[in-house]
């Protein structure tokens, strides 16, 4: 049985328990930064373990997309909800 989910990766990545297996698309997916919501607080820049984010003109930007680990730390810490890590996952029951 396959079940699909879409939405914010940070909200679901830690909620997936066996017997489900995550099947992610191999195409590169990058965080979306909603410029109109970003206040330039720099929380996301400071928390990014890959140092993929920077502030430019007072807003967060994905300066080094090739370094992004898609860990969702930036999405989870953003107080304005300006960062989203979109995903589509197919769950396969392994029982």
Residue-by-residue pLDDT tens, the chain, 95 positions: 444 444 555 555 555 555 555 555 555 678 899 999 999 999 999 999 999 999 999 999 999 999 998 888 999 999 999 998 876 666 666 66
What 3-state DSSP class applies to 34? coil
Fold held by 2-93? Alpha-Beta Plaits (3.30.70)
**Token output for 51:** 């140092």
CA–CA dist 5, 16 (Å, integer): 11
Residue whose C-alpha is closest to residue 76's, from 35, 48, 57: 48
pLDDT of residue 74: 95
For the chain, the domains span 2-93
pLDDT of residue 2: 44
The answer to whether 63 touches 47, Cβ cutoff 8 Å, is no
């Amino acid at each position: 049985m396959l079940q699909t989910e879409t939405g914010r990766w940070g909200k679901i990545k830690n909620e997936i328990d066996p017997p489900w297996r995550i099947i992610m698309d191999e195409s590169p997916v990058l965080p979306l930064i909603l410029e109109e919501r970003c206040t330039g607080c720099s929380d996301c820049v400071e928390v990014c373990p890959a140092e993929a984010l920077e502030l430019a003109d007072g807003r967060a930007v994905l300066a080094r997309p090739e370094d992004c680990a898609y860990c969702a730390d930036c999405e989870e810490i953003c107080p304005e909800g300006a960062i989203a890590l979109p995903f589509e996952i197919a769950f396969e029951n392994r029982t």
